[in-house]
Structure 1
Amino acid sequence: MSKSTKDSPTTEGETEEEFSVEKVLDRRVVKGKVEYFLKWKGYSDDENTWEPEENLDCPDLISQFEEARKKKEASSRKSSHHEEKESKKRKSSSTPTLATKKKNTEEKKLEGFDRNLDPERIIGATDSSGELMFLMKWKGTDDADLVAARVANEKCPQIVIRFYEERLTWHSPSHDDEGGNKVDPE
C-alpha cells in the first residue's frame, strides 16, 4: 500500500484526504527524524513534499528507494576508488583546474568524527554491508552521520552503552521455567 495521510484543514462535512505516493525521490534527516521527499500520484512535481517517515504507509516504496540508494552509494565508492588507482598509474603533466579542485573538495566532504564534532546520541543502528553502523547525532547541529560501531565503541563508549541501555528489556521467567533448576532424582 502506498498511501499517506496529509493533514489538510478540515471543515464540517469534510474528511481528511488520503494521498497515494507514486515514488520516493530523496531522504534527509531533520532534528534526528528521517523524512522522505515524495512524488504524489496524480500531482505535478511542483506538489512534491518532504514527509516524516512516521506519517507514511508505503514500506515497499521506501525499501525500494533505500536499496537503490545503497547500490548507488556502493557503485560511487567503487568508481571513485577505481579512479584513484587510475590517476596514480598515469601522472598528468597538466595542472588541475579550479573546477577540478572544487570537485575534489566536494567529494571529500567530512563525515562522522572527521568533522571534529562531539557526539550527542545514537539515533539508530543498521547493517551496512555486514558491518554494524550507528546513526550518530552531533551536538550543536541537526546533522547525523552513519558511523561504524567499532569506531563509536572506541571514541564514545558511554554513548554506545546508553544507546543499548535505552533498548534493554527485561523478561521475567514464566511460572514453568522456575522449576528448571531442580535436580532429577535417579
Structure 2
Amino acid sequence: MSKSKDSPSTEGETEEEYSVEKVLDRRVVKGKVEYFLKWKGYSNEENTWEPEENLDCPDLIAQFEEARKKKEAAAASKRTEEKEQKKRKSSSTPTPTQSKKKATEEKKAEGFDRNLDPERIIGATDSSGELMFLMKWKGTDDADLVPARIANEKCPQIVIRFYEERLTWHNPVHDDEGGHKPDPE
C-alpha cells in the first residue's frame, strides 16, 4: 500500500515512501490507467493521479474496482427500469389532460400562421440548410424563425430594411499619386 517517490540519488539521501489511504477514482490517459489517490497523513488537497504501474496497493485497487463495478451495474439497472416505466406509460391510454396538452402543442401556430404583423427581423441563420429569419412580431415579445422565401413574399420591405441595416460601405482604394485606381473591366 505504498508508492515510492524517487528523488535524485545523492549519497545519504533516502527514498521517501507514501502510503495510499484510499483509491478515489480511475481514468485512462493515452491508453494508460491512472488512479486518483488519497494519501495517508495528507489532506484532500494533496490527492494525486498516479499511473497504475507506479502503485503497490493491489488490495485497495481491487476494492475500488469492485465498488465501481457495483455502482455501474446499479446505474445500468436503474436506466433499464426507467426505460421500462416510460414504455409502460406511453403504451397506456393517455389521460384527458395529456391528450389536451398534445392537441394544443400540435395546434400551436408559428410564424405567419399566427396572423400577427411582422415588426422587424432580429437575425438570420442557415443552420437548418435553409435561410431563416428570426422575426419579431408587433404587439408581442414573441419571435419565430420564418423561412426567408416566405418573408420575402409577405414582408419584402422588412427584409430590405434588415439587409440595408447591415450594409457596409467601403471607400475606394487610392494609389500613391492621390488618384483613384481604375475599376477593373
TM-score (norm 2): 0.47
Name the structure, 1 or 2, with higher relative contact order (CA <8 Å, separation 6+). Answer: 1
Q: Which has the larger radius of gyration?
A: 2
TM-score normalised to the size of structure 1?
Answer: 0.47
